[in-house]
Structure formats: C-alpha cells, structure tokens
Structure 1
C-alpha cells in the first residue's frame, strides 16, 4: 500500500514538471488522428504576460510581424494589412483590444531563444509520450487578437495545435473528408495557388465540432482538417505550434505530387495514402516542380492601410 502511495506522489511530481497537465496514455493513439483538448501550464512560464509580450513585439523582426484586419460579408471576407509604426509593444496590445485586429508574431523561436527552449521542451514531452514519434521543423507563433475577431475557414499544411493564454476562442472543427476539404483544394494550398483560406458554406457549421477554448487549454486536430475561429467579446492571446513528422511529410509529398500530376498529365483520383511505394515518385515530382521554378512565391504584403494607435477608438489610423 505504501509503495502505491509513493508511486502516485512521484508520478504527480513528474506530471507537475510537464507543460501538458493532464496527458493520459490513450492520447498517444488519438494524437494527429482525432481532436484532443488538454490542459497546459504555459502561463506558469511567465513568457506570455502582456508585459512579456509587449517586449516580444518590440524585439520582433519586421518580416515576422503580421498585422491585419478581416471584414466579413456573408460567406465572403476581405483582408487589409497594417503596421506597428512607432507604437510600443504594450500600446500595440491596448490598440488591438479596442479594434478588429489580428497580430501574428511569427517564428518566435528563431529570434527569442527562451521560446526556442520552451518549444523544444513541449515537443520533447510529446515525443517521449508517443513511441516512435519524432517531430522536426517545430514552430511557435503568438496570436494577439481583438474581441469578436474571426479567422476564416481554412486548413494548415503541417501538424497544428492552438494554446489559449487569455480570453476565449470558439473553434469550429470540421470533418476531415473530401466534402469539406477536397484533395484538389489541399493541392492548391500546397502549391501556393491559394492561401490557406478555402471556400466555405454556411451549412458546414451543422457538421462542425464546436469547442470553446479557455485559458490553460489547448487543442490539436487531424492533419488538413478544416476549421475556423471566432473570438468571444474579449482580447485573445493564443500560441500556435506547428510540427512535422515522417507521416506528415509523406502526406505533403503525396498531395503535392498529385497536384503536379494533375497539372502536367491530367491525372485525377490518384491515391492520397501517406505510405507505400507511390510516395517516392510523387515526392520526386514535387522536388522537380520546385527545382523548375514552378512553385509560386509566398504572398508579399505590398500595401498597408493602417497603423496601430491606442488613442483611436478602433485602435488604428489610416496611412
């Protein structure tokens, strides 16, 4: 009896040292295949207070700082882009809290080593808990967004998780099926023929899994599963983390290769399985396409329509 109590105490201390607070053994079978919601301890690191993030904003290289506003008309949306200007980091957060603005602080681990250490700690936890899982190309970004802001219907090209720090997000997660995300749409995203935003119809919501994400909670979902996000009536601070594994890379190569074959040979209905001998010629097709310079360059923002301004009623002024 004593030995069981001691074991439980040791296990409790070990779990307390982890960023993920409530991992269970069965989660390893669900990870990357089903939606999982877990508890996390990112707040305890002190890296995501408003004061800490204000300093991060001021350290952020201009090329890694995205500021935009998205307006919606029915099922359509329009983006306009902004700039920080001379606004301090903490004032930028105050401006965002007053408007309809998204700030995306990208690739934080590349220029802020304390966040690299945190990112590696988290994915080392995942790798240790899942036999045979090896993650690479790990990425951490920070999202600061206004009350009632929305992210359009879209899909991501790598393993993705969303970690809530402040505020509440409502996340709509749709079935990973050809109805909601046809293979040809995935190909368009990978070949950069379109953004991650995809065609959306209002009736999709009847089939969505809807989760309200609170501070201290995170979710992860299947690869290429479409989703959209709506903020509650409060400032939201969230962390996004991305990763690759061998199966994710295989899926990328297969869908990319299928896109090349569709465009060059007119082949349709090719296999999308992420394993098997067919992966390698499709990966070769993808590599050749890129080497030939066929891949479209990533979007470059050329026009910025506003600047953050905490003294303005909506947190911004025109430029």
Structure 2
C-alpha cells in the first residue's frame, strides 16, 4: 500500500494558529501515517532488508547508564523481522536513513506531506527534504543534542518522552552550533540536570507528531516498549540563511578571531558569510564523514541484549 491510497488529510487536527506557530514554537499534531500500511512491523522488516548498507545506522548504549559512549553495529545475518526482535530485547537504535532516495513509495509520501504543509502555509517553500525511520529499544535514550535543519518527529509505535528546551545561549551556545556545522563535534552538547526545569515535556503517542524551533536542544527517553518513529527534515530559505550565518561566523572566529558576530539570518552580512562558508568547504577545511568508523557488534535476536560482539 502506498501514500496514494490515503484518503483525506495526513494531519488530522490542523488549525489556523498552527501556521503562525510552525517552526517558531513546539507544535504537537495528530497524523494518519499508520493508515498507509507503510510502517507496520512487516513493512519495516522489508525496508531494513532493502536498505543500502551505507544508509543503515545501528548504535547501542553501554549497560552502564553513566557511560555515554556509543557502540556501533551491523545487521549481520539477521532478517528484517529478526532485527526488530533483537532491538526489542536490547538497548539499540536503528536509523534507516534517506528512505526516499531508494524506496520510491516513501518519496511519494514525503512529497504528499510537504505538499499538504505548503497548502496550509502559503510561502512555506522547502528543499532538501529528508525522511528516515527510527527503530529503538524499550527505555533507550537519545542524549541532549541539537539539529541543523527543520525537524519533525512522527510516532508510529510505542511512546517516547521528548524533552524540548528553549533556544537560547543558556541551553545552546552559538559557538557550539558552529562546531556542529563545521563537523568539529557531533550533535551532542553539554547538559545539566536543571535544564529539565525549563523543558517542554511531550509523551509522544502513536499517531502524533511534534516539531520545534531550529537549533532548539532536545533529548528523548523511550517508554518501556519498542518504538518505531519517522523523522523528517527540511530546509527553507530562512533555515539556509541561518546555516550560512552560523557557518560563516565559525569560519571568521577561526580565521580572523572575530568574536560575538551577528547571528541574524537576514541582512547584508548573510552574503559574505555564505561566501566564506563556501570557500571553507571548497578549501577542504571542513571535516568530512563520520568521526567513528569502527563496528562493535552485530544484531543477534538470540542474544539476551539483542547483540553479539564483533571480534
């Protein structure tokens, strides 16, 4: 079944106020993706088996909750449904990346979703859209981090508790955003437990989605159940301008020692900063690729933790 057979709106409770809130505040909406038949366990199993190896990310956390080191895995000999069985037993995340590039029916669904948003928000023009599928274990955590493009999280199965923090220098310093953009670090950032006092907390149920402001930090804790979720990313002109400004600021800070440069995503200063970002990349100064290439385990539905070590 594909998105073309879905009747009616994909977002079922849109109101006029959401046009003003979208991208500026935390917005929680109801969706009908489960009715497409494209995100059942059987469909996800088939998707795992179709996924090119380069687009299948598998990670795990240490059993010591004080150790935030990531372990990196491979599918091994497991079938798609066996992979789900392994993940349900362990503390594992699977990220099925860029599904729209190699599964045309998901490209159609992604286009349908953004066409619906565009119809409801005149002037909302997006590019570089992306869709991924996340499968994660009961009680799994995603640590405090920020993303560099427009983001939304769509829940299919299970429940996630999502902590969404204010976008301010207190919670995400501009200098750290620059490090993420220049690939000097991953998305994880310094976190203090008292940050939670200022968080918006959402228990995301199946059939719900949530989106939040650009660069707003967040972290996630799964309830005690397997979670299947869909992530969507997009760029707009304003998001690209913000990227160019922060990237350019990072270049200026590293080359000319400029401190506290403007981060406004509009104005004449955007263009020279965009040019400096382009030149920095052209000169090969940006760090490329994943920081870590090792593989620590393979999925194993017969193992108690859902994984077996790789020698």
TM over 0.5: yes
The residue matched to 2:69 in structure 1 has which SS? strand
Deviation at 1:303, TM superposition (A): 1.6
1:260-285 Cα offsets, whole Å, 9 max, x none, are 00000111111101111111010001
Q: Secondary structure at the match of 1:77?
A: coil
Equivalents in 1 of 2:184, 2:241: separation in Å? 20
Q: Which deviations, in whole Å up to 9, do the C-alpha atoms of 1:13-37 show, x marking residues without a partner?
A: xx96111111111101001000000
Deviation at 1:298, TM superposition (A): 2.1
Partner residue, 2:148: 157
Larger radius of gyration: 1
Could you list the runs of 5+ residues in structure 1 that have no partner in the other structure?
A: 1-14
Q: Deviations over 1:147-200 (max 9, x none)?
A: 000001000000000000000000000010001001000000000000011111
1:27 pairs with one of 10, 18, 33? 18
Q: How far apart, CA to CA, are the structure 1 residues paired with 2:87 and 2:135?
A: 7
Aligned to 2:265: 274
**Distance in 1 between residues matched to 2:224 and 2:87, nearest whole Å:** 13
1:257 to 248, 259, 269: 248
Distance 2:292 2:96 in 1: 15
- Is residue 2:172 matched to residue 1:172? no
On the 8 A contact 1:254/1:272 being kept in 2, the answer is: yes
2:296 matched residue in structure 1: 305
Answering whether residue 93 of structure 2 is matched by residue 96 of structure 1, we say: no
Alignment length (residue pairs): 305
Query: How far apart are the structure 2 equivalents of 1:72 and 1:304?
Result: 17
Give 5+ residue unaligned stretches, structure 2.
1-5
Quick one: structure 1 residues 315 and 75, their matched pair in 2 at CA, closer, same or farther if it must change by over 3 Å? closer
**1:318 CA displacement:** 1.0
- What's the TM-score, normalizing by structure 2? 0.96
Query: Cα distance, 1:302 vs. partner?
Result: 2.5
8 A Cα contact 1:72 1:78, kept in partner: no
Q: Give a deviation string over 1:76-105, Cα, whole Å, max 9, x none.
A: 611001110111000100110000000000
Task: Report whether the alignment pairs 1:289 with 2:280.
Answer: yes
Alignment of 1:40-55 (within 5 A): 40-55=31-46
- Aligned mates of 1:295, 1:289 — CA distance in 2: 7
Secondary structure class of the residue paired with 2:143: strand
Pairwise CA RMSD of aligned residues?
A: 1.3
* 2:3 corresponding residue in structure 1: none
Is the 1:70–1:80 Cα contact (8 Å) retained in structure 2?
yes
CA 1:159–1:234: 2 relative to 1, 3 Å: same
Alignment of 1:101-180 (within 5 A): 101-180=92-171
Q: Which residue of 2 aligns with 1:8?
A: none
Deviation at 1:111, TM superposition (A): 0.1
Offset at residue 71 of structure 1 (A)? 3.2
Q: C-alpha separation between the residues in 2 aligned to 1:184 and 1:153?
A: 16
Other-structure match for 1:4: none
Q: Which residue in the other structure is 1:7 paired with?
A: none
Q: TM-score, normalization: structure 1? A: 0.93
Residue aligned with 1:58, SS: helix
Q: Does residue 1:186 correspond to 2:177, yes or no?
A: yes
